[in-house]
Amino acid sequence: MSPIEDKVVIVTGAGGGIGSATARLLAGRGAKVVLADRRLEAAGQVAERIERAGGTAVAMPADVTSRSEVISLVAAAADRFGRLDVMVSNAGVGPVSYLDELKVDEWDLMVEVNLRGVLNGIAAALPVFRAQDSGQFVNVASTAAYTTTPTMAVYSAVKTAVRAVSEGLRKEAGPKLRVSVVSPGFVATEFVQTVSDPEVRERLLKQRDAMALSPDAIARAIAFAIEQPPEVDVNEIVIRPTAQA
């Protein structure tokens, strides 16, 4: 029996990329997966793929920037399956740019999705985990939380904040709750397509095509953190392409 079997797992941003790969892998190991995404159709297609393969999955709409929507998501998942074991906060955006370009709306978007989305996940799931006396948060950060390069200042800042919040949560969580941070490097997803500066986007596309990891590699790291025994808390995993500096 897989240690993941029968666990109820919410994955945000599950309509594609890392979220889709994670949902499919966990479902393949026996988890009951709730795929949350603003793009319900995309999440629904992934859920249908899982169901056709014999897994258990349901797609639910959720904008992680809305606390009420994330609370409703967690409540619906717990009501459907009777509990919630893992909250994977994966939804994220990365419209990176030089600060001189003053793309303040894009800065705000990264703060809202990448940081507030994680906070909303904590606010929604923590009371459920406390009531159960068990549960695990898996928050997806980035290698940008460890180093900052030109165009990445705001993105690095919010991902650093995700690490800080997660560490604070871990220290407050007590012996029954687990908190894991998974920090990917360059991954072959739609991330680069959100970059509005054509020059920056083209540079990142070339880097992606030269060395990016498959989302499946990040899914395996997330699964590793989840499949450990209850007394083992994998606090942090950093995973990047071998070729990435």
* β-bridge mates for residue 10, sequence order: 34, 87
> What pLDDT band is residue 191 in, cutting at 50, 70 and 90?
confident
The answer as to whether 94 is a domain residue is yes
Q: What is the pLDDT of residues 117-155, one digit of tens each?
A: 999 999 999 999 999 999 999 999 999 999 999 999 999
Q: What is the pLDDT of residues 5-52, one digit of tens each?
A: 999 999 999 999 999 999 999 999 999 999 999 999 999 999 999 999
The answer as to whether 241 is a domain residue is no
Instruction: Calculate mean pLDDT across residues 186-201.
Output: 91
**pLDDT recorded at residue 173:** 96
Orientation of helix 40-52 relative to helix 17-28, angle to 10°: 30
The answer as to whether 245 is a domain residue is no
Annotated active-site residue 98? The verdict is: no
Instruction: Calculate mean pLDDT across residues 83-98.
Output: 97
The answer as to whether 170 is a domain residue is yes
> What pLDDT band is residue 193 in, cutting at 50, 70 and 90?
confident
Phi/psi-derived region of residue 38, left when phi > 0, alpha when psi is between -120 and 50, beta in every other case: alpha
**pLDDT recorded at residue 190:** 84
1 compared with 21, residue with greater pLDDT: 21
The count of other CB atoms within 10 Å of the CB of residue 79 is: 10
Nearest to 11 by CA among 3, 66, 26: 26
The domain of 86 spans: 8-231
Q: What is the pLDDT of residues 220-245, one digit of tens each?
A: 999 999 999 999 999 999 999 999 98
**pLDDT recorded at residue 145:** 98
Q: Where are the alpha helices (DSSP H) in the chain?
A: 17-28, 40-52, 67-81, 104-110, 117-132, 153-173, 198-211, 215-227
Domain of residue 149, CATH code: 3.40.50.720
By three-state DSSP, how is residue 245 classified? coil
**pLDDT recorded at residue 150:** 96
pLDDT at 212 over 80: yes
- Among residues 81, 155, 186, 191, the one annotated as catalytic is 155
The answer as to whether 43 is a domain residue is yes
**pLDDT recorded at residue 127:** 98
User: How many distinct structural domains can be found in the chain?
Assistant: 1
Instruction: Calculate mean pLDDT across residues 66-91.
Output: 98
**pLDDT recorded at residue 2:** 87
The answer as to whether 197 is a domain residue is yes
**pLDDT recorded at residue 115:** 98
**pLDDT recorded at residue 67:** 98
Percent of the chain whose predicted confidence (pLDDT) is above 70: 100
The answer as to whether 84 is a domain residue is yes
Report the amino acid identity of residue 240.
Answer: R
Orientation of helix 117-132 relative to helix 153-173, angle to 10°: 10
For residue 193, what is the DSSP state? G
> What pLDDT band is residue 1 in, cutting at 50, 70 and 90?
confident
Residue 49 token pair: 């793929």
Q: What is the pLDDT of residues 100-114, one digit of tens each?
A: 999 999 999 999 999
The answer as to whether 55 is a domain residue is yes
